[in-house]
A and B are shown apart, each in its own frame.
Chain A
């Protein structure tokens, strides 16, 4: 699986958009980008995933650059409950569909 690079921490004011970047410069054509988050040692929670098109769901938006070497997770109106560690994962189809977690980005949403 392609390696991902994320900033170790970010801060965001409540009500503002949180933009979390991820670099995956070695991504190959069949690898999906997944985002999960982990709130205070709970089990990881799936947020969103995409291959090459931008995606949006009720939780977030995922913007993937045209060359697919980086992506940004956008939480449009961050709340205190969005404080968590956010993991960007690039996964190859097949092979058990295993996920390789890095250390993620600790997002702190403040008043």
Chain B
């Protein structure tokens, strides 16, 4: 199946620093990528939808100036958590919509990035 990678897989940073997370579709072009956040024992919450070459669409309650998304190419989207604080500590997962075609398209998830802000 389609493969999506994320980097880094985990990161620990000090409060106030910025952290960039990369999401890559390795064997297909993804015009749309999604960024999710998952707190312990909770479900994935969609943060934003990232479309190649255009501005991301943020979900209600997600600060676009804090979570900067750049989808510069068909295989790469980045999420930058600016001025991270301990409450931003979470599991961040990206997904890419799979190759077009078929009756039902699917999303392929990256392995996630565990962010811990001290």
Q: Do A and B come from one complex?
A: no
